Chains A and B, each alone.
Chain A
């Protein structure tokens, strides 16, 4: 897998410190799963966090904190039991990394795609994040997503197929970061449906009035 579009420093730092909220973090973690290059920088940042923690001014603990911890340990199950992951068939089909598929319904081989019209399908991931939304998208091979712009930021990570827009061409593992009032029209590569994760903090604004009117109905 040749990944050419990596994470920005700003995003990677916010993910490392924990400042980034859950929906964005899914996209960052998905990219990190697929890209050892970005992961090397990430592990370095965790070392920076470790260095800062080690040199932190110690606080004064309340009494019996350690005893409280010990009490809770007895209830724990044996940590040597390693969970065995059972991936449904679609996971291998779409190249969706575990950090994303963990948010999808398990025990089924059929994904609950919702039709957005124009052949585009989505599944909104259920997170506890109230400030941003993460959704899995399926764009038919060779199709164009309607022209739209953003008020905020949009992060897209590709798992299968790919897309092209004015900023470049994106394939599996690539991450695209769009911010501000950028208008774009992604075009799915031919030959294979594009499966990607898109995270947005504000509703998308479609240029086409018909699509815009339908937005509340189709849930984007």
Chain B
């Protein structure tokens, strides 16, 4: 059963009170909080099972959930790395490193900030940089006193993220083939723009304009065109 959050004000209150709580333990607590009706709503919030797996790993060091996460993402990370020219052995190493990091960093996963896929993508990318390029990956630190917190913290952040990640998925699918191709080369093969131009046999300016067009859509998705 799924209820559209935008037209159910009761859920707003509910999500506000629990906006800093994530995951399976939340389901029960919330069910007791307002009764069965709420449980149904909450379940619809967490219908993304990959996010649930990460949260279980974080909260209860759940190895079964960890295995499920592994079975789903590990072969994809491997495919992703091999696209990038890594040998099978190297790609296996990246997969291992990535999952050790998934275990270590699961507590930092925030379903209100990123989807499971985006979070795992970032971990895999950083593991690859660490292992293959042997460089550090500098990232903005959210605990930094100088971290700009001015973005409005939405009480419905989890739902909002889920909506966004869904719209990104369909956005990527709906992009014109040529823009999609450029994004794929950039993400999968970690190719700089000049290399993409060479590989596709098109001028650098064309690569740039395709990227610009893709970004225009990303920005309009964010509502700031």
Contact = CB atoms under 8 A, between A and B. Distances in A.
A and B form one complex? yes
Interface string A48-67: 11111111111111100110
B96 A52 contact: no
Contacts of A66: 67, 70, 74, 99
Given A22-B135, A79-B105, A46 B121 contact: yes
Contacts of A39: 140, 148, 151
Given A49-B187, A54-B76, A128-B136, A10 B96 contact: no
A117 B172 CA distance: 51
Nearest to B98: A69
Interface in A1-37: 1, 9-10, 13-14, 16-19, 21-22, 25-26, 28-30, 32-36
B33 interface: no
Given A10-B211, A50-B120, A61-B92, A18 B125 contact: yes
B114 A47 contact: yes
Given A18-B190, A69-B100, A58 B76 contact: yes
Interface residues of B, number: 83
A32 B140 contact: yes
Nearest to B119: A50
The residue among B73, B95, B140 with the most chain A CB atoms within 10 A of its own CB is B140
A43 B211 contact: no
Interface in B167-225: 168-169, 171-172, 183-184, 186-188, 190-193, 208, 211-212, 215, 218-219, 221-222
Given A58-B76, A97-B147, A127 B125 contact: no
Contact of B146 (A16, A53, A69, A95): A95
A42 to B, nearest CB: 9
B35 interface: no
A99 B141 contact: yes
B128 interface: yes
A40 B222 contact: yes
23 contacts: A9-B212, A10-B211, A14-B192, A18-B129, A19-B186, A22-B136, A26-B138, A35-B148, A36-B151, A50-B117, A51-B165, A52-B172, A53-B120, A53-B121, A58-B78, A61-B75, A66-B67, A66-B74, A76-B100, A97-B140, A98-B144, A98-B147, A128-B136
Interface of B: 63, 67, 70, 73-83, 88-89, 91-92, 95-96, 99-100, 103-107, 113-122, 124-126, 128-129, 133-141, 143-151, 164-165, 168-169, 171-172, 183-184, 186-188, 190-193, 208, 211-212, 215, 218-219, 221-222
